């Protein structure tokens, strides 16, 4: 007896012919099953792909506030606000080495072999470590004598640019807020978020080693 259903009239056929027909019927059924399985697998992949795309769009969809801020940043002009300085060198020095930088804060020059990690700091960091981070394409935002609200704004900028910015207090500053990159500086009296973000977008990785993200 065959393990597959076939037309009853095939029983009247010669045994050899009936076997051939049953074999062909099995082949066709297997082919159909393989097609259905393949189509189902493709369908599952398509559904998962669409779901992933939809999830990505949902996760990356910007809020009206974010879009409004982007527009504000786009409209900012840095003309006349950014000063450029001659590069003071790139050599590595030890912690015991005293370096007299020509700008305040420094924008280039001798520095530690190890760069300061990106991030927000509650305490002052060494100028020589910060300078190496500038050489890597980062932005250093240092401040003194500002309100808690302004400090929160600067720290928020640091978190939003976590792959390229350093935010830290610096008592030696001659201005409340200094935003520096390699060979450049913008000084501010208030924590104005849009110009600072514009500066980051414009001058990030304008340096010998472009390692900022």
Which pLDDT tens digit goes with each residue over 125-141? 999 999 999 999 999 99
Q: What is the pLDDT of residue 59?
A: 63
Over the stretch 74-113, which tens digit does the pLDDT of each residue have? 999 999 999 999 999 999 999 999 999 999 999 999 999 9
Average pLDDT over residues 143-167: 98
Instruction: Kindly tell me if the per-residue pLDDT of 1 is higher than 80.
Output: no
CATH 3.40.30, domain 64-203, yes or no: yes
Average pLDDT over residues 42-58: 79
Instruction: Kindly tell me if the per-residue pLDDT of 61 is higher than 80.
Output: no
Q: What is the pLDDT of residue 137?
A: 98
Which of 30-34, 49-53, 107-111 comes out lowest in average pLDDT? 49-53
The first and second tokens of residue 205, run together, are: 């990785």
Q: Average per-residue pLDDT in the chain?
A: 92
Beta-carbon contacts of residue 165 (< 8 Å; ≥ 6 apart):
118, 138, 139, 140, 141, 157, 158, 200
């Amino acid at each position: 007896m065959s393990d597959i259903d076939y037309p009853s009239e095939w029983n009247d056929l010669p045994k050899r012919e009936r076997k051939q027909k049953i074999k062909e019927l099995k082949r066709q059924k297997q082919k159909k099953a393989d097609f259905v399985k393949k189509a189902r697998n493709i369908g599952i992949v398509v559904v998962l792909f669409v779901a992933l795309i939809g999830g990505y769009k949902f996760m990356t969809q910007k809020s009206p506030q974010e879009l409004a801020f982007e527009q504000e940043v786009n409209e900012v002009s840095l003309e006349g606000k950014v000063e450029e300085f001659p590069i003071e060198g790139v050599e590595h020095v030890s912690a015991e080495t005293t370096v007299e930088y020509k700008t305040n804060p420094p924008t280039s020059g001798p520095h530690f072999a190890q760069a300061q990690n990106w991030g927000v700091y509650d305490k002052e960091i060494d100028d020589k470590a910060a300078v190496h981070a500038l050489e890597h394409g980062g932005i250093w935002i240092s401040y003194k004598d500002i309100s808690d609200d302004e400090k929160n704004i600067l720290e928020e900028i640091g978190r939003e640019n976590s792959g390229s910015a350093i935010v830290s207090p610096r008592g030696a500053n001659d201005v409340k807020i200094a935003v520096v990159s390699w060979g450049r500086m913008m000084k501010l009296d208030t924590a104005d978020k849009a110009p600072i973000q514009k500066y980051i977008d414009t001058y990030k990785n304008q340096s010998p080693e472009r390692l900022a993200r």
